[in-house]
């Protein structure tokens, strides 16, 4: 004796066929009104991502500036700070990239052998926080700046598209690790 009526299997097959037919019909429609809206939504999303990239890059650039200021004030900290500074420089470049082109950045570790080039960013200006005279206090202040950068990158995660969110999360984790390394006893 066979079953009569609708079985679960037949209902699922019928529902799948209806959904497939609906998707096929929707994909074949020639409604041009929707394409203009999706293009403007894509433009808005691209502009928002560009603003997010600029903010995130600025946060990392500010941290890089703090590294340069501490190194200028306390050159003896160079061996400890050069590798961390090189990583922050790479993070700053990666956060600024738009994904369509790769910026020529030094291989991580190549900057670690030499101090950063002298620039106006290396010396704290009147609007910058002065570097403490005590090297330990300077490291503590730099660790606090790294924590603030990690917090800023973490706060930006909900607004970031998936690929950029992964990069932000990685950079935030690295900044948190830098904060730890800067406060750990040498």
- Residues 138-179: pLDDT tens digits? 999 999 999 999 999 999 999 899 999 999 999 999 999 999
155 part of a folded domain:
yes
Return the sign of the alpha-carbon dihedral for residues 132, 134, 137, 141: positive
10 part of a folded domain:
no
Per the CB < 8 A criterion, the answer to whether 106 and 181 are in contact is no
- Please state at what angle helix 33-73 crosses helix 162-183, rounded to 10 degrees: 10
28 part of a folded domain:
no
Per DSSP, the three-state class of 162 is helix
For position 185, what pLDDT does the model report? 75
Cα separations in angstroms, 25 against 14, 22, 31, 75, 148: 16, 5, 12, 69, 51
16 part of a folded domain:
no
For position 184, what pLDDT does the model report? 85
For position 97, what pLDDT does the model report? 83
For position 54, what pLDDT does the model report? 93
Is this model's pTM higher than 0.85 or not?
no
154 part of a folded domain:
yes
- Could you tell me how far CA 169 lies from the centroid of its own chain? 6
Give the helix ranges, DSSP H, for the chain: 8-28, 33-73, 78-96, 135-155, 162-183
70 part of a folded domain:
yes
Phi, psi of 54 (to 5 degrees): -65, -45
Half-sphere exposure (Cβ direction) of 62: Cα atoms closer than 13 Å: 18
Which residue range forms the structural domain that includes residue 41?
36-183
CA dist., res. 133 & res. 124, Å (int): 13
For position 123, what pLDDT does the model report? 34
9 part of a folded domain:
no
62-78 CB burial, b ≥16 within 10 A, e <16: bbbbbbbbbbbbbeebe
List, for the chain, all residue ranges whose pLDDT scores fall below the cut of 70: 1-38, 99-128, 186
Tally of domains in the chain: 1
128 part of a folded domain:
yes
């Amino acid at each position: 004796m066979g079953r009569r009526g609708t079985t679960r299997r037949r209902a699922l097959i019928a529902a799948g066929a209806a959904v497939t037919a609906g998707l096929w019909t929707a994909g074949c429609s020639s409604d041009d009104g929707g394409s203009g809206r999706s293009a403007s939504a894509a433009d808005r999303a691209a502009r928002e991502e560009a603003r997010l990239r600029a903010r995130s890059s600025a946060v990392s650039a500010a941290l890089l500036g703090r590294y340069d200021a501490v190194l200028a004030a306390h050159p003896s900290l160079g061996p400890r700070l050069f590798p961390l500074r090189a990583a922050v420089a790479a993070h700053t470049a990666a956060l600024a990239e738009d994904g369509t082109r790769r910026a020529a950045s030094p291989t991580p570790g190549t900057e670690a052998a030499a101090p950063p080039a002298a620039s106006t960013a290396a010396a704290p200006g009147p609007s910058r926080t002065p570097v403490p005279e005590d090297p330990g206090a300077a490291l503590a202040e730099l660790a606090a700046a790294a924590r603030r950068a990690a917090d800023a990158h973490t706060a930006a995660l909900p607004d970031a598209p998936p690929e950029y969110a992964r990069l932000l999360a990685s950079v935030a984790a690295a900044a948190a690790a830098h904060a730890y390394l800067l406060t750990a006893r040498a």
